[in-house]
Amino acid sequence: MKRIIIDREKCDGCLNCNVACISAHEEGSNFYTVNLGSVDSETRNFIKFDAKTGYTPIFCRHCDEPECVLSCMSGAMEKDPVTGHVKYDESKCAACYMCVMNCPFGVLKPDNKTRTKVIKCDFCEEKQDGPSCVKACPKQAIEVKEVSR
């Protein structure tokens, strides 16, 4: 099973991962043309800063027992038994946000534009070369690794 692994000691808060994520999900844009001021520009990861601990990248962990899936009443959140990734089906979502409230890492969020769907990491599964955030990190603080269950 592949997971995004973070080395927070390497993170310098450059936000390239955020821009790459937005670009990967904004139709017709690339890293250099993404419109960061648009309400449609939504990142699926976050960088938190604390003066004592520094930068902390917050990414979906595609948990083994995901609270978002366990709390989803509509079946919109589902764990793929093959990849181990937590997938979101917008067409099934009731916008109750139980998944948002139950994510222990605070990764999931309602979309900014309509507040009717959830924004979460999809592991850039449509891209053959893996998650955009990983490729965009100049410090190699983000990587994809094979992990055992």
Same CATH fold assignment for domains 1-59+121-149 and 63-106: yes
pLDDT of the residue at 109: 95
Which pLDDT score, from 0 to 100, does residue 107 have? Answer: 94
Residue 118 has pLDDT above 80, yes or no: yes
Fold of 1-59+121-149: Alpha-Beta Plaits (3.30.70)
Architecture of domain 63-106: 2-Layer Sandwich (3.30)
Average pLDDT, the chain: 93
- Residue spans per domain, the chain: 1-59+121-149, 63-106
* Stated pTM of the model: 0.89
Query: For the chain, how many residues are written?
Result: 149
**Residue 149: per-residue pLDDT:** 66
